[in-house]
Amino acid sequence: MSRSVLVVDDEVRLADVLAAALEDLGYRATAVHSARAALAELEQARFDLVLTDLRLPVMDGRALLREVRSRWPEIPVIIITAFAAVRDAVDLVKEGAFDYIAKPFEIDDVSATIRRALRLADIVRDNERLRGELEGRYSFATLVGNSAAFRRVIEQVTEVCETKATVLLNGESGTGKELVARAIHFNSPRRDRPFIAVNCAAIPETLLESELFGHVKGAFTGAVTNRTGRFAAADGGTLFLDEIGDMPLPIQAKLLRVIQERSFEPVGATRTQTVDVRLVAATHKDIRRAVDKGSFREDLFYRLNVFPIQLPPLRERADDIPLLAAHFLAELAEAMGKRATGFSPAALAAMTAYDWPGNIRELHNCIERAVIVAKTQTIDAPDLPQDLFSSRRGERDVLPRDLDAELERIERDFIIEALRRSDGIQVRAAKLLGIAERSLWHRIKKLGIKLGRAIAD
């Protein structure tokens, strides 16, 4: 679509000629003869650019520029000025005009300046959109859930994100600890500063200290250069200490010092460094128990536990399962270019009844697999992993109506699972189940298990 330019000049003929020339260059141009008329046009329609004379009666180009800058900051303004007033025009560039053009001018110069202005406006707009998307990804809008248990989490996140308080996230694996940590950072005043994550369980004890605090050249074998640690990298931002329950005691002591004194020394260094870092820590462990056992420092626990947030397991927010499932389905189908649009009632019932030991991550993986295997637009129960049907929640509280059929179902599920884990190799499957290969073979026949299907499923 062609770009629209608003031309403002009290010399009627000049404005009209300029507008016609711009039309010839492929723009949609509107000519007006006063700043007031320009503002009226801007209120009516969207313009991509304003081209205005500096000297206008009543309200001049400077006043118009200010008005446009404050009300439509995304619209670039180019000033046209008589040669004698170029100095004023330069001032206007300082006030936010994109550029100025001195009279008399060649239409080519006008056209080149307009093109530059529009290109820059595009870049700024794209940048803002990307930024918006990036922030959108982490804002509360990404935290899907409407159950009472999850609304409590959102409330706590809202309460704490504006502050600098240390947050301790506790929850089973896959309950969204990292996602919540990011939401806290990206909704905090530190959002423009770094978010740095360190998984304390994934880094060997010998390296964790230098990972967190950095080291100087020659501090230990292998330290061939100076290295900045994660604390320094997160300066001004947020440091996410994941699996804090696995942090070795000596490093806990050093962490305690950073929290208390806001300073640390890189490994092998003599100079102390200060940092301004907001801490968010997470663990799936019961740290209080670890304190009782002596594997976690009590003083550090109190320092971290300033604002604890407990993330509920998915089985305790079953109301959210359909919502999350639909959210992942839309996201994954789009990413994979599939047309899957919804779930059959049987599939939804199975998902809601399952207890999701791997929580939201497991649900995400389940939907991902279903989107791949589903042959129709609706995801049906057979598209879901077998696990959903082999350990139904609360099963043990209910007596089976037909014990033999129930035992057969359990036997079949175990055999299919063992075959799947052993790629269909029966000797191995038998070993996994602790039975003889012959016995496995008999059972497969008795239960009518189709080998190809069992493994492919």
Ligand X SMILES: Nc1ncnc2c1ncn2[C@@H]1O[C@H](COP(=O)(O)OP(=O)(O)OP(=O)(O)O)[C@@H](O)[C@H]1O
Residue 178 in contact with ligand X, rule: CB under 6 A: yes
How many angstroms separate the CA atoms of 99 and 454, rounded? Answer: 71
* Amino acid letter, residue 75: I
- For ligand X, the binding residue among 61, 76, 174, 214 (CB under 6 A) is 174
Q: Which of Mg ion, ligand X, none binds 176 (CB below 5-8 Å, type-dependent)?
A: ligand X
Q: Which of ligand X, Mg ion, none binds 361 (CB below 5-8 Å, type-dependent)?
A: ligand X
**Binding region for Mg ion (CB under 5 A) out of 63-71, 104-112, 175-183, 293-301:** 175-183
Residue 179 in contact with ligand X, rule: CB under 6 A: yes
Residue 158 in contact with ligand X, rule: CB under 6 A: no
49 or 360: CB nearest ligand X: 360
Backbone dihedral region for residue 38 (phi beyond 0: left; psi -120 to 50: alpha; all else: beta): alpha
33 or 278: CB nearest ligand X: 278
How many angstroms separate the CA atoms of 149 and 229, rounded? Answer: 37
Residue 178 in contact with Mg ion, rule: CB under 5 A: yes
85 or 181: CB nearest ligand X: 181
- For ligand X, the binding residue among 360, 379, 429, 430 (CB under 6 A) is 360
Q: Which of residues 270-309 bind ligand X (CB under 6 A)?
A: 284
SS (H, E, C) the chain: CCCEEEEECCCHHHHHHHHHHHHHCCCEEEEECCHHHHHHHHHHCCCCEEEEECCCCCCCHHHHHHHHHHHCCCCCEEEEEEHHHHHHHHHHHHCCCCEEEEECCCHHHHHHHHHHHHHHHHHHHHHHHHHHHHHHHHCHHHCCCCCHHHHHHHHHHHHHHCCCCCEEEECCCCCCHHHHHHHHHHCCCCCCCCEEEEECCCCCHHHHHHHHHEECCCCCCCCCCCEECHHHHCCCCEEEEECHHHCCHHHHHHHHHHHHHCEECCECCCCCEECCCEEEEEECCCHHHHHHHCCCCHHHHHHHCCEEEECCCHHHHHHHHHHHHHHHHHHHHHHHCCCCCEECHHHHHHHHHECCCCHHHHHHHHHHHHHHHCCCCEECHHHCCCHHHHCECCHHHCCCCCHHHHHHHHHHHHHHHHHHHCCCCHHHHHHHHCCCHHHHHHHHHHHCCCHHHHHHC
Closest distance of CB 242 from Mg ion, Å = 5
Residue 25 in contact with ligand X, rule: CB under 6 A: no
**Binding region for ligand X (CB under 6 A) out of 1-9, 98-106, 107-115, 177-185:** 177-185
Q: Which of residues 93-152 bind ligand X (CB under 6 A)?
A: 143-145
Number of residues that bind ligand X (CB under 6 A): 16
199 or 378: CB nearest Mg ion: 199
147 or 391: CB nearest ligand X: 147
Residue 364 in contact with ligand X, rule: CB under 6 A: yes
In the bound state, the residue with its beta carbon closest to ligand X is 176
Q: Which of residues 212-271 bind ligand X (CB under 6 A)?
A: none
Residue 61 in contact with ligand X, rule: CB under 6 A: no
Closest distance of CB 169 from Mg ion, Å = 9
Q: Which of residues 312-341 bind ligand X (CB under 6 A)?
A: 324
Closest distance of CB 180 from ligand X, Å = 7
Closest distance of CB 42 from Mg ion, Å = 49
Letters for 220-249 (x = contact with Mg ion by CB under 5 A, - = none) are ------------------------------
Closest distance of CB 178 from Mg ion, Å = 4
Q: Which residues bind Mg ion (CB under 5 A)?
A: 178
Q: Which residues bind ligand X (CB under 6 A)?
A: 143-145, 171, 173-179, 284, 324, 360-361, 364
